[in-house]
Amino acid sequence: MSSITATPSTKPRQVSVLSDLQAPDFVSNKALLSWIQSIVDLTQPEFIHWCDGSQEEWYLITRKLINKGVLIPLDPELRPDSFLVRSDPDDVARVEDRTFICSAKKEDAGPTNNWRDPVAMMDELRDLFRGSMRGRTMYVVPFSMGPLGGPISQVGVQLTDSPYAVLNMRTMTRMGFDALKQIGENDPWVPAVHSVGFPLADDNGERVLDVVWPSNPVKYITHFPETREIWSFGSGYGGNALLSKKCFSLRIGSYMGLQEGWLAEHMLILKLTSPEGRAYHVAAAFPSACGKTNLAMLQPTIPGWKAETIGDDIAWLRPGPDGRLYAINPEAGFFGVAPGTGEATNPVAMNTVWGNTIFTNVALTDEGDVWWEGMTREVPKHLIDWRGQEWTPEEGTLAAHPNSRFTVPIQQCPTLSEEWYKNDGVPIDAIIFGGRRATNIPLVAEAYNWQHGVFIGATMSSEQTAAAEGTVGQLRRDPFAMLPFCGYNMADYWGHWLNMGEKLGDKAPKIFQVNWFRRENGKFLWPGFGDNSRVLDWICRRVDGLVEATDVAVGRIPAAGTLNLEGLDVSDHDMEKLFEIDSQMWLDEVNLTDSFFAEFGDRLPKQLTTELAGLKKRLS
C-alpha cells in the first residue's frame, strides 16, 4: 500500500478571523492579502485555514468529514485510504444553464455562452456571498496548474468553505504552500471564490444546524475574463466547486491564452512509442461520452507499440523556443466518470483507483467497497445505492448516478509517462478531433493543412443517441469539444487557432479526424478500444511521411493496404463502409454547417467560409 505524498510543510492551523489573516510569513503579495481580507469581510467565516498540502492536513480534514458523516471510509483491505461521498440529489453535475461569462461586452461572450453584465452580476454575487460562510471555516487553497514554476504553468488561489472541495483540489492540482510560494510580491494569480451557500449562523448570529451535503437552491458559476476572476455559489459538486477544473483550466485559461498567445484545450495528451523506438506525442479533443479517457489509457493491440498517459482531460499548449507546439497536462489527478469504466473497457483506470481515491455518488457493496454500472459483468445482489437506499437488481433503477465520479492522483496510473513531470511539456506531433458519429465521418482522415484542420475542429459534432441515430439534422455541435468551456466568443477562438497556425508555420502539428463509432444496421463497424492503436499507428506514420494517403472530399484517408489490420476480424465490406463518403448526406451537412456558422455573424473568420465552400465544391 502506498499513500498520497506531499512535501512536508508547516502544521496547518485554524485561527479566529477576529485577530487577523495569520498568513504564512513568506507571503509578500499585498494584493493577495487585501483580496483575501475583502472576501473574509464579505463572507464572515468563523475561522481561516491556510492549506499547506501536507499529509497531516489531509488526515485532519478527512477525520473531520468522517465524523460529520460526509466521508464513508471503504474497507482498507479492499480499497485503502479511500472514501465514498453522497451528494444531495439536487447537486450532482455541472449546471450549464447557471454558468456565465461576464465579459464587458455581450458580443465578446458570443452566441454559445450565457452572458451577464459583469457589474450587475458582481452586485448580485456580493448579495449572495454576504455572510455565506458564517460559522464555517474559510480554506485558503493555493494551487499550481502545471509543474511548479514551469513556463506554461499558472497559479491560482481558491477561497472555499467546502472541505470536500479542498480534498479534491489537493488531488487534482499541485496544492499547498509550495504553490503559494510561486506568488511573489508582484506576481499575478487567478482569484477564485467558492461557497456552498449554507451559513451556520443567521443574520442575528443564531446557530443553524449543518447537513451532510450543504448546498443552496440558487447556483451561479461565473467567470470574469477581463479580470480573470471566478465566483461560484451554491454547489459543492465537481467542476462547480473544484474551480481549477473547467473554470480555470478552460474558461479563464482559454481567454488568458488568447491574450498571451497560447491555447487552453479540452484535450488528452498521449505518448506513443513505435516498435522502432520513435516517440510521438498526440493531443486529442473528444466531446463527453466519446472515449477520451479510454484513449488516454490505451493498451495497444499492435505488437511493439507502447502507449503512455500524460493527460486525460486538459492540455495547455504553447509555442516553444524551437518553434514547435508544446503541451502540458495542468492537472495532477483524474476526475473520472465511474459508470462504464470497468476491467473490460478500461483496465488501466481500474488499476489506478486501487486506493487513495474519493468516490462520489457510486454504490456501496456489502463488503465495504464501491460498485457502479459497467464495473463488473456480474451485478451484485445487494447494494446501498448512491442515495443511501437499499438496492437490488430488481429495483430497476441505477445503483450509481450516471455522473458519479472518482478522484485519484495521476501518479497512481500504471501507464503514466515520466514526461508528465516535465516543466516545459512535450512537443506535439499530431492533433486529433473525434466525435460519436454513426454516419458520414470516416474512421480516420488527415486534414489537408492547418486551416482545413481548424475547419474540422470547428464543425465537430456528435449524433444524439436516439431511435433515429444517424439521421443528419440531429447533430449536437461541440466545436473543438469546447462548446461548454470556451471563455469568449467561439468565432474569435477559431481565429486564435488560425493565427497560431500562421505562427507555427511548417512546424505546426498535423491535424486528423477520427470516428470509432460508425454503424450499419445498429452494429459498430470498428472494434475500438485497444484496436484504435491501429489508427494511431497510421497517424504516426503519416507524421513521418512513411505511408500514403488518398485524397477524398473530406480529407486524406489511408491508401489501400496502409492501415495495419493484421489479426483483426473486420470484413472488407465493413472497412469499405468505414470510409464511405455519401456526397448527398455530406451536402446536407454542409447546409447545416452554413446555418451554424451564420450564428457568429461578421466575427466568423473568412477562412472557415472558404473551407466550407471548398468542401461543397469537392462534394459536388
Q: What is the CATH number of the domain that holds 315?
A: 3.90.228.20
Say if residue 391 is in the same domain as residue 465: no
For residue 281, which phi and psi values (nearest 5 degrees)?
-125, 125
Cell 452580476 identifies what position? 121
Q: Is residue 232 domain-shared with residue 352, that is, in the same domain?
A: no
Nine-digit cell string for 608: 472557415
Residues belonging to the active site: 290
CATH (domain of 118): 3.40.449.10
| 320/373 same-domain check | no
Who's near 222: CB < 8 A, 6+ residues apart? 99, 100, 102, 116, 121, 125, 230, 231, 232
pLDDT over threshold 70, residue 12: no
Tell whether 123 and 195 lie within a shared domain. Answer: yes
pLDDT in tens, 283-323: 999 987 788 899 999 999 999 999 999 999 999 999 999 99
Q: How many CB atoms are closer than 10 A to CB 592? A: 15
| Any domain includes 1 | no
Alpha-carbon distance of 217 to 208, in angstroms, equals: 17
SS3 state of residue 140: strand
Residues 6+ apart with CB under 8 A from 366: 380, 382, 383
Q: Is residue 85 part of a domain?
A: no
In a domain, 400, yes or no: yes
Contact yes or no for 95/219 (Cβ under 8 A): yes
Q: 328 with 339, same domain?
A: no
Distances 238 to 126, 187, 580 between C-alpha atoms, Å: 23, 28, 40
Q: What percent of the chain stands above pLDDT 70? A: 95
User: How many structural domains compose the chain?
Assistant: 3
The whole domain housing 348 covers 333-412
In this structure, what C-alpha cell is assigned to residue 8?
Answer: 512536508
104 and 145 inside one domain: yes
CB 413 within 8 A of CB 104: no
455 and 372 within one domain = no
20 and 162 together in one domain: yes
- For 390-407, give the secondary structure using H, E and C: EECHHHCCCCCCCCCEEE
The confidence band for 468, taking pLDDT boundaries of 50, 70 and 90, is: very low
Q: H or E stretch including 433?
A: strand 430-434
pLDDT, mean over the chain: 94
In DSSP notation, 187-199 reads ---EEEEEE-S--
Residues 500 and 544 in one domain: yes
Residue 412's nearest CA partner among 333, 470, 358 is 333
Q: Are strands 444-446 and 383-384 parallel, antiparallel or unpaired?
A: unpaired
pLDDT at 13 over 50: no
pLDDT in tens, 525-540: 999 999 999 999 999 9
Does one domain contain both 348 and 480?
no
Q: How far is CA 472 from the centre of its chain?
A: 28
Give me the amino acid identity at 473: G
Q: Determine the pLDDT at residue 471.
A: 53
Instruction: Tell me, yes or no, whether 36 lies in a domain.
Output: yes
40-44, 200-204, 232-236, 302-306: which range is least confident on average? 200-204
368 and 445 share one domain: no
3-state secondary structure of 555: strand
Residue 521 pLDDT more than 60?
yes
pTM: 0.94
pLDDT given for residue 14 in this prediction: 42
79: in domain: no
Domain boundary among 213, 231, 261: 261
The x, y and z cell numbers of residue 614, run together, are 471548398
- 529 and 467 in a common domain: yes
Last residue of a domain, one of 261, 291, 315: 261
Domain of 369, CATH number, reads: 2.170.8.10
pLDDT at 464: 59
Last residue of a domain, one of 359, 388, 412: 412
Nearest to 430 by CA among 443, 444, 419, 417: 444
Would 99 be classed as within a structural domain? yes
Considering the domain boundaries, does residue 82 fall inside one? no
SS3 33: helix
Grade residue 7 by pLDDT with cuts at 50, 70 and 90. Answer: very low
User: Is the residue at 390 inside a domain?
Assistant: yes
d(CA 555, CA 446) in angstroms, rounded, equals: 5
